Amino acid sequence: MQSGQVAYRALEGRRILLGVTGSIAAYKAAALCRLLKTAGAEVRVVMTPLAKQFITPLTMATLSKNPILVEFFDPENGAWNSHVSLGEWADCYVIAPATANTLAKMRTGVADNLLLTTYLSARCPVAVAPAMDLDMYAHPATQENLRELTARGVKIVEPGEGELASGLTGKGRMAEPEEIAASLNALFAARTDSPLRGRRFVVTAGATIEAIDPVRFISNHSTGKMGYAIAGELARRGAEVVLVSGRTSLPTPAGVERRDVLSADEMFHATVEAFADADGAVMCAAVADYTPAEVATTKIKKNDGELTLALRRTRDIAAHLGTQKGRRVLVGFALETDHEADNAEAKLTKKNFDFVVLNSLRDPGAGFGGDTNKVTFIDRRGREELPLLSKTEVAARIAGRIESLLTKN
Ligand code: CTP
C-alpha cells in the first residue's frame, strides 16, 4: 500500500465521523483512524458503551486527537453530546466495525446509544464495515438488514473471508482498514473529479400551490424529497445548483441556492430566469397543470348547491425549456399510473428531454413521501429499469447519467 497522502488524496480536509461498536475487530478501528488522519482527514470518534471493552477510548482519543464520545451527556459536568450537531459536522459517517446488533438497530431505527442516534440524525453519506461470525453474517436476518440499508443508501464495505475470532473460517472478518479508507476515498473522489464541477444546474422540486381564494388552494402530494436529493447530489459533485422549490418542509441541501415559489406561474418565471445561464436542468417538481381561472379576493362562502371552479391551463415549464435547450442537458420526470413507459416516451419527445425518469405509482416503495424510489430511465436508445433504491441512490444514478451526457456534449 502506498503512503496515506498518495493513496487517499480525496480524504484530505474531510470531516469523518468514525463509529466503533463492540466487536473484536474494534482494534482495527485504531489503524483505520490512523490512516484517515495521515490522509489529512479530521476524525471524531463515537463508540458504543460495549466498544470500550474492546478498545480503550484513550487509544482512539490519542489517534484521532479528539475526545471520544460515548454517552449522551458527560456525567461529570452534564455537557450534552449533541448527535444532531455531530451528524451535521460530518462529511461522512463510517461505522467500523459494525456488529450484527448495530446493523439490525440501524435498520429498525432503534436509538439507544449515541452512535445510533447520530446515525438517525446524519445527513451525510454513511458507510458500514460489518464484522461478525460467519453464521451471523450469512443469517437471513443480517442479510435482509444489509439489503434494506443498501436500499436506503448506506454503503456496505463487505467483510472478507478468513479466520474469525470464533476459530471458524469464513466470511465475516471486517474489511482491512486500507480497504475501508479506499472506499471512503472513492466516495469523495467521484465528487471532486466530476464533469459537473463548475457547471450550473437548475432543479425544480416540490408541489406548486394554486390559490382558489385567500384560504384554499389546489396542490398535490409531492414532498420534494427526490428533487432535493438530486439538488444535493449535483452540488456534492461540484455543480452550482439553483433549486426552484415549491412547497416542502425540507431543509435546503448543503451548497445549494434555493428560490422558493408558490404557484406554477411563479415557478415558470423563476425557472426560465435561472435556466438562461445554466448548463442544464432537472425537472422534478409536481407542477399543477391547471390553476383557478380567477382567484377570489375574499373567502368563498358555501351555499346549498354545487360549486364549479373554472380552471385554466398553466404553462408547461419543461416543454418551454425544451424549445430553448440547444446542447444543454434537460432531464424530466414522469409519474404515471398506467401505460407508464409509453406515456413517459411520449414526454421524452414532446418536451425534448435527454432522458426521462419514470416512476410508476403502481410500484411498491415508489412515489410520494417515502425514502425509496423505483424508477426506469428512458432515452432515445432504450430503457433501463433500476431496482428499488433509496432516493439518495436514485439521485446519484441520475447525476451519473448527467455526467456522461456532459462528457459527450
Ligand atoms: N412539468 C413542468 N411544468 C408543467 C408540468 C410538468 O415542468 N406545467 C414537468 C415535470 O416537472 C416533469 C414533466 O414535466 O418533469 C412531466 O410531468 P407530468 O406531470 O408527469 O406530466 P404532464 O406533462 O403534466 O402530463 P400529464 O399530466 O398528461 O401526465
Q: Are residues 216 and 130 in the same domain?
A: no
Q: Which atom of ligand 1 is nearest to the CA of 334?
A: 20
329 and 354 in contact (C-beta within 8 Å)? yes
The residue from 176, 192, 208 where one domain ends is 192
- Grid coordinates given for 264: 406554477
What residues contact residue 110 under an 8 Å CB cut-off, 6+ apart?
104, 116
**Residue whose CA is closest, atom 27 of ligand 1?**
289
Give me the CATH number covering residue 160: 3.40.50.1950
The residue from 142, 173, 192 where one domain ends is 192
C-alpha radius of gyration, the chain, whole number: 24
**Residue whose CA is closest, atom 14 of ligand 1?**
318
**Residue whose CA is closest, atom 21 of ligand 1?**
334
- Looking at residue 297, what is its pLDDT? 96
Judge if the beta carbon of residue 287 lies within 6 A of ligand 1: yes
Q: Are residues 114 and 35 in the same domain?
A: yes
C-alpha 47 to ligand 1 mean position (Å): 48
Judge if the beta carbon of residue 26 lies within 6 A of ligand 1: no
The H or E element spanning position 51 is none
Judge if the beta carbon of residue 230 lies within 6 A of ligand 1: no
The residue from 192, 218, 248 where one domain ends is 192
Q: Could you give the number of structural domains in the chain?
A: 2
Beta-bridge partner residues of 257: 242
Q: Are residues 84 and 137 in the same domain?
A: yes
Cβ atoms within 10 Å of 217's Cβ, excluding its own: 19
C-alpha 318 to ligand 1 mean position (Å): 7
C-alpha 28 to ligand 1 mean position (Å): 51
Judge if the beta carbon of residue 334 lies within 6 A of ligand 1: yes
Q: Are residues 208 and 67 in the same domain?
A: no
Q: Are residues 238 and 366 in the same domain?
A: yes
Angle ∠(307,312,317) on CA atoms, nearest 5: 140
| Cis amide prior to 49 (ω within 30 degrees) | no
- Looking at residue 167, what is its pLDDT? 86
Q: Are residues 188 and 199 in the same domain?
A: no
Q: Which atom of ligand 1 is nearest to the CA of 335?
A: 20
User: Of 142, 384, 168, which Cα lies nearest the Cα of 158?
Assistant: 142
**Residue whose CA is closest, atom 20 of ligand 1?**
334
Judge if the beta carbon of residue 316 lies within 6 A of ligand 1: yes
- Looking at residue 3, what is its pLDDT? 41
Q: Are residues 265 and 121 in the same domain?
A: no
Judge if the beta carbon of residue 153 lies within 6 A of ligand 1: no
Judge if the beta carbon of residue 265 lies within 6 A of ligand 1: no
E-strand ranges in 140-250 read 155-156, 160-163, 169-173, 200-205, 210-211, 217-218, 240-245
Q: Which domain holds residue 152?
A: 3-192
Cβ atoms within 10 Å of 185's Cβ, excluding its own: 20
**Ordered per-residue pLDDT tens for the chain, 409 residues:** 444 445 788 898 889 999 999 999 999 999 999 999 999 999 999 999 999 999 999 999 999 999 999 988 877 787 788 887 888 889 899 999 999 999 999 999 999 999 999 999 887 889 999 999 999 999 999 999 999 998 888 999 999 988 888 888 889 999 999 999 999 998 877 666 789 999 999 999 999 999 999 999 999 999 999 999 999 999 988 999 999 999 998 888 878 999 999 999 999 999 999 999 999 999 999 999 999 999 999 999 999 999 999 999 999 999 999 999 999 999 999 988 888 889 999 999 999 999 999 987 777 766 676 777 889 999 999 999 988 887 888 998 999 999 999 988 7
Q: Are residues 359 and 231 in the same domain?
A: yes
Read off the pTM: 0.66
C-alpha 301 to ligand 1 mean position (Å): 32
**Residue whose CA is closest, atom 12 of ligand 1?**
333
3-state DSSP helix/strand/coil % of the chain, to nearest 5: 35, 25, 40
Judge if the beta carbon of residue 207 lies within 6 A of ligand 1: no
**Residue whose CA is closest, atom 18 of ligand 1?**
334
Q: Are residues 182 and 267 in the same domain?
A: no
- Among 282, 287, 360, 375, the mutation site with the greatest number of ligand 1 atoms within 8 A of its Cβ is 287
Q: Which atom of ligand 1 is nearest to the CA of 356?
A: 15
C-alpha 95 to ligand 1 mean position (Å): 41
User: Of 43, 31, 44, 42, which Cα lies nearest the Cα of 1?
Assistant: 31
Q: Are residues 264 and 386 in the same domain?
A: yes
Beta-bridge partner residues of 358: 334, 376
Q: Are residues 86 and 220 in the same domain?
A: no
Q: Kindly list the catalytic residues.
A: 220
C-alpha 291 to ligand 1 mean position (Å): 14
- Among 208, 226, 283, the mutation site with the greatest number of ligand 1 atoms within 8 A of its Cβ is 283
Give me the CATH number covering residue 267: 3.40.50.10300
Q: Are residues 224 and 121 in the same domain?
A: no
E-strand ranges in 21-102 read 42-47, 92-98
User: Of 211, 96, 114, which Cα lies nearest the Cα of 154?
Assistant: 96
User: Of 49, 43, 85, 83, which Cα lies nearest the Cα of 66?
Assistant: 43
How far does Cα 39 stand from its chain's mean position?
A: 25
- Looking at residue 191, what is its pLDDT? 65
- Distances in Å between the Cα of 114 and the Cα atoms of 49, 337, 364 are 9, 42, 33
